[in-house]
Amino acid sequence: MDISELELLIESENPVIVDVRKDFEYNSGHVPNAKNIPLSQLEERYAEITDGTYLICQSGARSARACQYLSTKGIDTINISGGTIAWNGPLEFTDRL
């Protein structure tokens, strides 16, 4: 799925979105309501992801790898090609001191 399709989906539904970028990348701006599970933590945290979850990263490469990994665990996810850099709407920011 490309980013424009996700933008339309967000307008009509409340999809579950997981951002697989590193913490500092996520904190510096992410798609609204996305949860952060860095790719480096996916092996330990994959049980937090359910079928139908949308995975996003910066461009779509890491989230594609995450989708492939989750498929081996029997979890059906959707990769967002284009990633956060293609997002046209406002980003959310996480303040961490």
Catalytic residues: 57
Cα atoms in the 13 Å half-sphere on the side-chain side of 46: 18
CA distance 19 to 17: 7
CA distance 52 to 38: 18
Identify the bridge partners of residue 18 per DSSP, sorted by sequence position: 35, 55
3-class SS of residue 64: helix
